[in-house]
């Protein structure tokens, strides 16, 4: 006999009712911040999981070194 997960709120049984959605909140490049695992029938939230981020992302603000380089190039 195979055990299937049961939603604690609506009692739906089966893995097909456990789904994942991306958060509406996004990073400055448009990636979702996290995933939400929930019941597709009643919306019961099982957990929130951070989304993997891109390793080669440029920070939204220049570092102090980048700012100094930019100022020198601009003659300031």
| Residue range 8-66, pLDDT digits in tens | 999 999 999 999 999 888 878 888 889 999 999 999 999 999 876 665 556 666 566 66
Q: Helix, strand, coil shares of the chain as percentages rounded to 5?
A: 15, 30, 55
The pTM of this model reads 0.60
Provide the 3-class DSSP secondary structure of residue 34.
strand
């Amino acid at each position: 006999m195979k055990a299937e997960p049961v939603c604690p709120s609506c009692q739906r049984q089966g893995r097909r009712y456990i789904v994942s959605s991306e958060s509406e909140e996004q990073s400055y490049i448009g990636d979702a911040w996290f995933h939400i695992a929930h019941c597709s029938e009643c919306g019961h939230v099982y957990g929130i999981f951070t989304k993997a981020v891109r390793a080669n992302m440029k920070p939204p603000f220049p570092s102090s070194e980048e700012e100094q380089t930019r100022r020198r190039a601009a003659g300031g």
